[in-house]
Chain A
Amino acid sequence: MEKKLTTPINDSTRETLIAGQEVLISGYIYTARDAAHKLLVDAINKKEKTPFDIKDQIVYYVGPTPARPNQVIGACGPTSSYRMDKFSPTLMENGLKIMIGKGPRSDAFTKSLVENEAVYLIAIGGLGAKLSKTVIENTKIAYNHLESEAIHRLKVINFPAIVAIDSKGNSIFK
């Protein structure tokens, strides 16, 4: 059975998540890929305000296809997470707690994740159409010029994911 999670996810719930567990997320998540990560980290390094308060939030690595006029969002499956390894520690040090992507992470990432008691989830790659059905609200909030890489706030219902690295550093990747 999948475990149901509603955002914001508090510390005690997050700590109960175990690598390998399937979860269903409902609530708000923020999209960001490579280019948005770079801008977020640049902003933090320059002590500027980030376009949304990343503290205790969930970031989903995705660049959707454009929505048709009658759709909330286009296809929206995860992109490979390793490309974000360089940026994630800075975000976690500033309060980001959950990241959703696909595939394994670097050792440096996992080290920072444990130090910051964060959790890494994976969604299944290539399920863009199916995952889009869980998104009920989609608001572009920053970095318009990045096109499909702009930051969106999504409201999701029962978004399926798997705990890949839990807050103790246990991982499903061999």
Chain B
Amino acid sequence: MYTVERNEIINTIKDMFIDSAYNLNNKLVNKFERAEKLETNKLGKSILRKIIENQVIAKTENIPLCQDTGVAVIFLEIGRQLIFSYDLEKAINTGVRKAYMDGYLRKSIVQHPLNRINTLDNTPAIIHYNYIPGKNLNIHIAPKGGGSENMSRLKMLSPSEGEEGIINFVLETIKLAGGKACPPLIVGVGIGGNFEKVALLAKQAIFRKINDSSKSLIDRNLEEKLLKKINQLDIGPMGLGGLTTALAVKVNSYPCHIASLPVAVNLQCHSARKKEVTLVGKKINNSN
């Protein structure tokens, strides 16, 4: 059997959250640069330029990209040969706590939705677990801001509404969000599954690599159609008009009930902070 040491997990999670709050992924920055060249709206172009400048300042002067350093969202892919002799969830929350305390990040989590008392260390994180073959632990993290999350939506469509129903719902969601979700956006769309599964699909969609497209032909076609239509809405950077409303659309689908057509849209703002790391399990002897 194999394991990953508790301290290694804590330190990795800590480093990932701090790093993501200060350093935007290069491929995403390239996308902004390309969009800035193509943008015809004057204000939109100037906002894109400022977004590019902002990430340079963040990186070089050690200031977080955005003051909303989010709720800590984590997807774990756990190799089936791994065993943990400690509480994995606690270790992860310790890593999150250290990141937000030591990394000068904002603590934005309240204990209860109605008492609104801040937990003061940004825990608990929201953690999703999956199993994969092998002995590696893949960790995907994102500090997810409230602005774009608040504008995300879910609807149980009737199967007869089909692709058109999905497209209309996505476009309606983006219009309702306007500048509030801090566009340009990465749009995660989940279709199928059931009520809770479809929300998860949409979230997993925004965790995908910025330049990939779906392996499913149906989903890939939908991604292309949606991106084109979204960028015709003239919402633009920060909702002030322009060609650049979305940088990417990601569609993730799953089989569903004969009576259902669930759809969920999870919006990711331009401060799309994300990281992934693979930890390799170390062999442990089973002598005891």
Contacts and interface: CB of A to CB of B under 8 A. Distances in A.
A129 B65 contact: yes
Given A65-B64, A75-B65, A103-B180, A127 B50 contact: yes
A64 B67 contact: yes
Interface string B136-155: 00000000001100100000
B100 to A, nearest CB: 9
Given A35-B116, A80-B150, A75 B180 contact: no
Given A65-B106, A127-B50, A173 B238 contact: no
Contacts of B193: none
Interface residues of A, number: 34
B178 interface: yes
A44 interface: no
Contacts of B106: 63-66, 74-75, 148
A76 B239 contact: no
B116 A77 contact: no
A77 B239 CA distance: 16
Contact of A129 (B64, B68, B118, B239): B64
A65 B67 contact: yes
Contacts of B69: 65, 75
A102 B180 contact: yes
A48 interface: no
Interface string B43-84: 100010011011101100111111111000000000000000
Contacts of A129: 54-55, 57-58, 61, 63-66
B63 A71 contact: yes
B53 A66 contact: no
A130 B53 contact: yes
A110 interface: no
B270 interface: yes
B105 interface: yes
B104 A147 contact: no
B203 to A, nearest CB: 20
A162 B118 CA distance: 32
Contacts of B147: 79-80, 102, 125
Interface residues of B, number: 39
Contact of A148 (B108, B150, B182, B239): B108
Given A65-B69, A173-B239, A126 B61 contact: no
A132 interface: yes
Contact of B104 (A68, A80, A127, A162): A68
Interface in A47-94: 62-68, 71, 74-77, 79-80, 82
A72 B263 CA distance: 44
Contacts of B150: 80
A125 B148 CA distance: 11
A133 interface: yes
Contacts of A63: 67-68, 106, 108
B50 A124 contact: yes
Nearest to A147: B118
B270 A74 contact: no
B63 A132 contact: yes
B240 interface: yes
- 6 A-B pairs with least C-beta separation: A129-B58, A103-B180, A129-B63, A75-B64, A125-B182, A75-B67
Given A102-B147, A130-B53, 17 more contacts: A35-B116, A65-B63, A68-B104, A74-B64, A75-B58, A75-B63, A75-B65, A77-B66, A80-B147, A82-B180, A102-B179, A124-B238, A126-B51, A126-B182, A132-B63, A148-B107, A172-B240
Interface of A: 35, 62-68, 71, 74-77, 79-80, 82, 102-104, 122, 124-130, 132-133, 147-148, 162, 172-173
16 contacts: A63-B67, A71-B63, A79-B146, A80-B180, A103-B178, A122-B179, A122-B238, A125-B66, A125-B238, A127-B54, A127-B66, A128-B64, A129-B61, A130-B53, A162-B43, A162-B240
Interface of B: 43, 47, 50-51, 53-55, 57-58, 61-69, 104-108, 116, 118, 120, 146-147, 150, 178-180, 182, 238-240, 269-271
